[in-house]
Structure 1
Amino acid sequence: MLSNYLKIFLRNLKKNPAYILINILGLAVGMAASLLILMFVHHELSYEDFHEKKDRIYRVSRAFMNQEGEVNLHLGHAAPPFGPLLKSDFSKEIEESVRLMNINILIKNGSDVFEEERFFFADPEVFNVFSWEVLKGNPQTALSSPDGLVLTEEMARKYFGQTDVLGKSLEVMVGSVRFDVQVTGVMKNIPDNSHLQPDFLASMEPVINFYGGYESMMRNYGSNNFSTYLLLNDGIKPGELEKQIPSFLDRHISESSSGVKASTWTKLQFWPLSSIHLHSNLDSEVQPNSSIEYVYIYSAIAIFILLIACVNFMNLATARSAKRAMEVGLRKVMGADKSVLIRQFMGETIMMTLFGLLIALLLVFLTIPSFSDFTNKDLNMEMLAQGRYIIMILGMVLLVGLVAGSYPSLFLSGFQPVKVLKGTYKIGSIHEKFRSMLVVGQFAISIMLIVAVLVVLNQLDYMKNKDLGFDKESLVILPSYTELTDNYEILRERYLSHPGITEMALGSRVPSGRLLDSQGAQAEVRGELTSLDVRISDVHVSHTFFKTFGIEFASGRDFDYRLASDSLQAFILNESAVRAIGWANPEEAIDKQFTYGNRRGYVVGVTKDFHFESLHQPISPMVFLIPDERFNSVAFKIKEDQKEEVLAYLKEEWQALRPDFPFNYYTVEDRFAQQYEAEEKVGAVFGFFAGLAILISILGLFGLSAYATEQRVKEIGIRKVMGASVGSILLLLGKDFLKLVLFGFLIAVPIAWFGMSKWLENFAYSISVSWLIFILAGLSAMLVAALTVSSQTIRAALINPVDSMKVE
């Protein structure tokens, strides 16, 4: 039977090569795109699958609320006491708890110094929870010694050129602190489908010492820097455990001086390990996560692309039905019933689908390196050789074959042999309308994708060019260090002597970062010092911070280095903080009493609101103060036309002052741009697959218009003899197709508007979906359709009428 299908397929290929190739190519492109998306989606859904106990592992997050119970900060990290206390208090429910602390450190190996971002301090029990395979060393004792270090194979080769490295030492530098670590274990490289990918796991002992010892660390509920994971016992429901957390918090965290219980302003939440990557996008994460929304979007695109390819097949098969009508009639006369004919046509479709699959696999092979780099995922052709992928591919071939071949099979097998053999059989209007509906659906999908591309591009342009309220250009940021902060005024004068540096400042955080630091505050409202129920983020700055960043004041003044009281008592707020406190305007805030943490003073200035964080977040209430320490960054305002000279100078100065540390800098402008990389990729994905959708639609429209033109060649000849112009013939043949595109446009508009409006809700500041976008999308689809159809109709219209009249 298969050999018969193959013979028929080859015979049809020889008789109608263009038709067959258009169908196969359309299916191939659709399947190739779907395979790429399938690999990406499966990879996204496979996060943490390699952990044997993943179904029992939960991460602890910490949220902070205002007096109304609304969450105003939700961290994927928690304070150091929570892990051990949870295990101690709920020993029947929790088998194990572990904490990890990620910090950028410098590792010195001989004369070489490297900055490492995936360096984690971890509790010794970490290997009891996570299934990281230790190749050398004992995982039960590897992190028990104060200087223990477990590193991956890749890092072992990087630092020592081999993996047999037990007992070897490295020097670690964290700020001004240096200590030695000894390799006690080597583990297999962590798969990239995990939100937690340590290259180094070090003993927690240095962190305990930093906090002033274990007892001091266990009293610190404000340092939320620890990724905390719980391994629950079998059968324990995390929801039931969470119900006991409020009393747990009240038991361990003391009430405030006014009698406020801890459970009213903070809470803990448990996240299943496998849900973190796609469902957790909190205010702090180990690394940026993805979103389940994008998995849905990409999956929908894959389905749409396949549907468009299947629609092409159905349209072309039914449009050319007259070519096979005689064959069907003869087969029925010879005794073939409808089921036999259906099997035959379905078999031919699946045969073409298999040929399309071969081309699709070739396309995947050619594009997967670029697609893998683009998505930053470890995707490769070897994945397709796995059993589950083979099943998925065969299932896709069968599904495409059934969907694409079902209607043509039923349609062709339904021909009445008497009418066919007499030459009186005509395709009914119902079938014509159905085919038109399929074309409408094709272009509706294409237009929706075009709208999505235009909306994403417009939103990106808006984010990149929006006035942030400060001068983001020409700002170079370096990490701060003790030698600089201790001699700041002397070094500032020295740096400003360079003609390319116009200003310099220090800050605990700088614009383009996240505002994660806050303390309790009180403000003078209606003559009384009142505790505030709003979260006000703090930024510690030097006197020249606002001048360096070009931040404007709404009222009051800047910090003044000549006033010693400014370093002890002065506060500067932003307009959002003034509104949150309840003052009528920025002018009212000046000279009002203000207490923040342990510092009491008064407000000396109010800045205009500016975007410290990305446009994903609304502008937060902020307070700025001058501290004794806690400067993490140093900012340089430079002249853009002297950027290369300034960077060379800064590097030279850095190497002179910090010879053991690499010179790493970033610009504020670039860092803001990096925060929109996810949207950049979404736009690129939409653009790429919208292009494919249009390409497949063009193939189908090309085939349909070619066939329609072929059927009306004699009519065209007669019209030309009667005086019709090429333009009028073009309008005659093209208007029906353009009507279908217009109907597709009308269907696409409300769906695309709803979908993109929902997507824009992810941003605190966004564009509105303009009608101009829909008009551009519709005109683009119209233009593509017009060019495709006209390429065939013009060719037919230019044929000599004498030759046209001879066509049978």
Structure 2
Amino acid sequence: MLFNYLKIFIRNLKKNPVYILINILGLSVGMAASILIFIFVQHELSYDNYHQHGDRIFRVSRAWFNPNGEANLHLGHAAPPFGPLLKSDFQGKIEEAVRLMNVKLVVKEGDDVFEESKFFFSDPEVFKVFSWKLVEGDPSTALTFPDGLVLTQSMAKKYFGDQSAMGEYMEVKIGSASMDMQVRGIMEDVPDNSHFQLDFLASMEPVVEFYGGYEAVMKNFGSNSFSTYLLLEEGIDAEDLEAELPAFIDRHIPPSAQGFSASMGTKLFLWPLRDIHLYSNLDSEIEPNGSIEYVYIYSAIAVFILLIACINFMNLATARSAKRAMEVGLRKVLGADRPLLVKQFMSETIFMTFIALLLALVMVALSINSFGDFTNKQLEINFLDSPYYILALLFLVIAVGLISGSYPSLFLSGFQPVKVLKGTYKIGSIHEKLRSFLVIGQFAISIVLIVAVLVVIQQLDFMKDKDLGFEKEEIVVLPAYVEFTDNYEMLRERLISNSGVSEVSLGSRLPSGRLLDAQGAQAEVRGELSPIDVRIADIHVSHSFFKTFEMKIVAGRDFDYNMASDSTEAFILNQSAVRAIGWENEEEAIDKQFLYGNRRGYVVGIVKDFHFESLHQPISPMVFLIPQDRFNEVAIKIRSESKEETLEFLKAEWQAMKPDFPFNYYFVADRFNQQYEAEEKVGTVFGFFAGLAILISVLGLFGLSAYATERRVKEIGIRKVMGASIWGIVSLLGRDFLKLVLIGFILAIPLAYFGMNSWLANFAYKISISWSVFFFAGLVATIIAAVTVSSQSIRAAMINPVDAFKVE
């Protein structure tokens, strides 16, 4: 029976090659796009699944709250005592606790010097928690030695080539400190689907010594730089354990000076390991994570693209039903019942879908590497290693076949033999309306995607062009090592003496970074020094900070080199801090007493609000002060006309100061733009798949218009004999299709508006969606539809009337 159906399918292919090929091409493009997105989504959902005890591993995060209960900071890191204390306090509930601390440092091997950003110090129990396998060395002892070091296989290859790295020593430099560490283990590379990557694991002992020894570490609840993971005992409910953490905090952290319990101001949370990548986008993460929202968006696009392809199939199949009416009538007369005809037509659809799948797989194979590079994922499809893919593709063929072929099969099998054989059978209006509805749906989806592309592009342009309140262009940032900070004034004068350098300053953090540092504050309000109920982030700066970034002082004055008290008593606040404290205006704040952490002094100036962080975040209250240390970065303002020469000059100065450290820098403007990479990729994805959606819609519209034109050839001939112009005939044939596009446009407007407004809600500063976006999207869809339809209409209008009357 199947062989017979295959013969019928081949016969129809020979009779109607264009119709069949349009259907197969449309399905294959839709399936290829869907398969690519499916591979990406499957990869996103697989993060950290490779860990054997992944369902029992939880990360500890720490949040701080204002007195009104509002969270003002939530870090994916915690203070160093929490890991050991949690394990000891909850014996029987926590099997293991492990801390990792990520640092950027320099590794020297022979004459080779590399800056490594995936270097982690770790507790030795790390291999009991995570399923990372050592190919050489003992996981139970590798990190128990103070100089213990574990390399990934990639790093072992990078530094030692083909010779064994075990037992070799590597010189590691952290700032100005240097230590020799011995390779005591080689581990497999961390899989791509891990929420953070690492190249080195080192013993935690050097970090403990850096903090002043074990006792000092266990009292340090302020340095929240440690990623802390817990392996719970089997059967322990994480929510129940989390409910006990406020009491745990109060046991170990004393109340505030005002008598409030520690748990009122800070809390700990437990994050399931496998949820971190898609659900955790906290104020600090080891690496930027993904987003479940984008998984939903990409999945919806895949469904839409596939749906458009299926709609094409249904439209073309029902539109050409008259071609097969006689075949259906004869089969029914010869005894074929409706279920048998449904099986025949469904089988034909499955054949076409299978051919489309084969073509789609070729497209996927040709594009998966490029798509993987674009998404920064190691995407692959391997049928031999994963039968799951075969089952998924089989399901895809059946699902697409059923969706595409169900309505045409029921429609074609419902022809009445008597009317068909008499030649009186006509397609009912309900079927014509359904086909019109499907075309409307196609173009509505396409227009929604076009609007999405335009909104994303406008938002990106808005973020990149928005005045941030300071000059971000041509500011080079270098790490502030002790050699620079200890000789800052001398080096600053030396750098400024170069004609390409206009200013130099230091900062604990610089614009384009995150505001993660804060202490308790008190301010003089109405004559009294009162605690501040909101978080005010601190930035430690040098005197020339505001000049370097060309920030505007709106009240009071800037820091002054000639006033020694500025280094011990002066504070500059931003306008948001003034409002948060409760002063009526900037002038009122000047000379008011201000207590921040352990420093008491006066407010000497107010800087105009500027965007320190990305436009995802609102402007936070900030305080600037000049410290004795804690500078992390050097900001150097250079002149654009001599950019390359100045960078060479800075490189030479750097090598003279730090010959063993590579000259690595970044531009503030570039790092601001990098914060919007996720949005740029979304815009590109929208654009690519919007193009595919339009392509598939055009294929369907081309087929429908070709068939509609073919049916009206004689009518066109008569109209030409009666004097109709070519333009009149073209407008007659295209009018109905353009009406459908217009209706699709009307339906798309509210869908696109609400969808993109939801996306824009992720930004504290955003555009308003303009009517011009919808107008342009509708215009693009209309022009594309008009060109597609008119190409067929013009060809038909050019036919000689004599030839038109010969058509049977």
* TM-score of Structure 1 vs Structure 2, range by shorter chain: over 0.9
Task: State the SS of the aligned residue for 1:382.
Answer: coil
In 2, Cα distance between the equivalents of 1:58 and 1:380? Answer: 29
Q: Does 1:675 align with 2:678?
A: no
* CA separation of 1:383 and 1:467: change in aligned 2, threshold 3 A: farther
CA distance in 2 between counterparts of 1:654 and 1:178 reads 18
Are residues 163 and 614 of structure 1, via their aligned partners in 2, closer, same or farther at CA, if it must alter by over 3 Å? farther
Structure 2 counterpart of 1:630, one-letter code: R
Aligned to 1:692: 692
AA aligned opposite 1:87: K
**Structure 1 residues 163 and 422, CA, compared in 2 at 3 Å: closer, same or farther?**
farther
Query: Deviations 1:591-649 (Å, cap 9, x if unpaired)?
Result: 00001111110000000000000000000000000011111111111111110000011
Measured in 2, the distance between the counterparts of 1:81 and 1:771 equals 55
**1:200 matched residue in structure 2:** 200
Instruction: Describe how 1:397-408 pairs up with structure 2 within 5 A.
Output: 397-408=397-408
1:726 and 2:720 aligned: no
Match in the other structure for 1:298: 298
| Residue deviations 1:415-469 (CA, integer Å, cap 9, x gap) | 0011000100000000000111111111111111111111111100000000000
User: Could you say what secondary structure the match of 1:104 adopts?
Assistant: strand
- Aligned partner letter, 1:761: A
Partner SS for 1:659: coil
Which residue of structure 1 aligns with residue 270 of structure 2? Answer: 270
Question: Which residue is equivalent to 2:468?
Answer: 468
For residues 44-193 of structure 1, what are the structure 2 equivalents within 5 Å?
A: 44-162=44-162, 164-193=164-193
The residue number in structure 1 matching 2:483 is: 483
Corresponding residue number in structure 1 for 2:662: 662
| Aligned-partner residue type, residue 223 of structure 2 | S
Deviations 1:307-352 (A, max 9, x none): 0000000000000000000000000011000011000000000000
* Letter matched to residue 405 of structure 2: G
Q: What is the distance in 1 between the residues matched to 2:147 and 2:490? A: 38
State whether structure 2 residue 376 is matched by structure 1 residue 347: no
Name the CA distance, whole Å, in 2 between partners of 1:684 and 1:10.
Answer: 40
% identical equivalent positions: 71
Please give the alpha-carbon distance, in whole angstroms, between the structure 2 residues aligned to 1:556 and 1:730: 73
Alpha-carbon contact 2:58-2:271 (below 8 Å) kept: yes
1:438 corresponds to which residue? Answer: 438
Aligned counterparts, 1:747-762, within 5 A: 747-762=747-762
SS at match of 1:198: coil
Equivalent position amino acid for 1:699 in 2: L
Kindly report which structure 2 residues correspond to 1:236-255, keeping only aligned pairs within 5 A, or say none. Answer: 236-255=236-255
After the TM superposition, which of the residue ranges 698-707 and 234-243 deviates more from structure 2?
Answer: 234-243
Change (3 A) 1:573 1:384: farther
Conserved? CA contact 2:39–2:381, under 8 Å: no
Residue identity opposite 2:248 in structure 1: F
The alpha carbon displacement at 1:6 in A equals: 2.0
TM-score, normalised by the number of residues in structure 1: 0.99
**Pair 1:416–1:384, CA change in 2 (3 A):** farther
* Secondary structure of 1:230 counterpart: strand
TM-superposed CA distance for 1:531, in Å, is: 1.0
- Residues 731 and 384 of structure 1, relative CA distance in 2, 3 Å threshold: farther
Deviation string, structure 1 residues 196-236 (Cα, Å, up to 9, x no partner) = 32111100000000100010001000000000001111111
Contact preservation (8 Å) 1:5, 1:351: no
- Report the Cα distance in structure 2 between the residues aligned to 1:71 and 1:383, rounded to whole angstroms: 47
The 8 Å contact of residues 26 and 699 in structure 1, kept in 2 or not, is answered as yes
Aligned amino acid, residue 25 of structure 1 = L
CA contact (8 A) 2:383 2:390 kept: no
Q: SS in structure 1 opposite 2:604?
A: strand
What is the alpha-carbon distance in structure 1 between the residues aligned to residue 479 and residue 196 of structure 2? 25
- Taking the aligned partners of 1:778 and 1:250, their CA distance within structure 2 comes to 60
Inter-partner Cα distance in structure 1 for 2:569 and 2:775: 58
Counterparts of 1:641 and 1:718 in 2: how far apart (Å)?
A: 72
What does the per-residue CA deviation read over 1:266-302, in whole Å, with 9 as the maximum and x for residues that have no partner? 0000000000000000000010001100011101110
Matches within 5 A, 1:778-789: 778-789=778-789
Letter in 2 for 1:731: S
Q: 1:384 Cα shift?
A: 7.9
Tell me the distance in 2 between the aligned counterparts of 1:89 and 1:175: 36
The 1-side partners of 2:5 and 2:32 are apart by 24
Aligned to 1:583: 583
**Root mean square deviation, CA, Å:** 0.9
Instruction: Quote the Cα distance in structure 1 between the aligned partners of 2:650 and 2:658.
Output: 12
CA offsets 1:701-728 (integer angstroms, 9 cap, x no match): 0000000001001111111111111111
User: 5+ residue gaps in structure 1?
Assistant: none
Match of 2:546 in 1: 546
Secondary structure of 1:752's aligned partner: helix
Instruction: Give deviations 1:74-105, integer Å, cap 9, x for gaps.
Output: 00000001111111111121111000000111
Q: Which residue of 1 aligns with 2:610?
A: 610
Corresponding residue number in structure 2 for 1:420:
420
Give 1:735 deviation, angstroms. Answer: 1.1
| Pairing of 1:229-378 with structure 2 (within 5 A) | 229-378=229-378
Q: Deviations over 1:218-269 (max 9, x none)?
A: 1000000000001111111111111111111111001122211101100000
CA offsets, 1:735-789, max 9 Å, x none? 1111111111111111111111111110010011111111111111111111100
**Contact in 2 for aligned 1:163/1:186 (Cα 8 Å):** no
Question: 2:381 touches 2:389 (CA, 8 Å); kept in 1?
Answer: no
Q: CA deviation at 1:383?
A: 6.0
The code of the aligned residue for 1:744 comes to G
CA distance in 2, matches of 1:385, 1:48: 19
Partner of residue 520, structure 1? 520
Opposite residue 571 of structure 2, the aligned amino acid is F
Query: Normalization by structure 2: what TM-score?
Result: 0.99
Aligned-partner Cα distance in 2 for 1:294–1:329: 50
2:218 aligns to what? 218
Deviation at 1:369, TM superposition (A): 1.1
Cα distance in 2 for partners of 1:85, 1:319 equals 72
What is the total number of aligned residue pairs between the two structures? 808
Shift of 1:380: 2.1
Which stretches in structure 2 are left out of the alignment for 5+ residues? none
- Aligned equivalents of 2:384 and 2:439: distance in 1? 32
Structure 1 Cα separation of the partners of residues 117 and 713 of structure 2: 69
SS in 1 for 2:182: strand
What is the rounded CA distance, in whole Å, between the counterparts of 1:358 and 1:256 in structure 2?
68
1:118-143 deviation per Cα after TM superposition (whole angstroms, max 9, x unaligned): 10000000111000011110101110
**Distance across 1 between alignment mates of 2:383 and 2:590:** 64
CA drift of 1:385 comes to 5.8
Amino acid at match of 2:749: V
Residues in 2 aligned to 1:305 and 1:447: alpha-carbon distance in whole angstroms: 13
Post-superposition offset of 1:11: 1.1
Q: Could you say what secondary structure the match of 1:103 adopts? A: strand
1:163 deviates by 6.5
**Partners of 1:466 and 1:101 in 2: how far apart?**
36
- Kindly tell me: are residues 380 and 593 of structure 1, through their superposed partners in 2, closer, same or farther at Cα, counting changes over 3 Å? same
* Structure 1, 721-730 or 534-543: larger mean CA deviation: 721-730
Tell me the SS of whatever aligns to 1:524: strand
1:356: Cα distance to partner? Answer: 0.4
Whole-angstrom CA distance in 2 between matches of 1:597 and 1:347: 76
Greater Cα offset, 611-620 or 724-733: 724-733
User: 1:108·1:170 contact (CA, 8 Å) conserved in 2?
Assistant: yes
CA distance in 1, matches of 2:398, 2:384: 17
Does the residue aligned with 2:404 lie in a helix, a strand or coil? Answer: helix
Instruction: Report Cα offsets for 1:683-707 as digits up to 9, x if no partner.
Output: 0000000000000000000000000
Which whole-Å CA distance do the structure 1 matches of 2:260 and 2:381 have between them? 59
Query: Quick one: distance in 1 between partners of 2:613 and 2:540?
Result: 16
**Counterpart residue number, 1:393:** 393
Counterpart residue type for residue 367 of structure 1: S
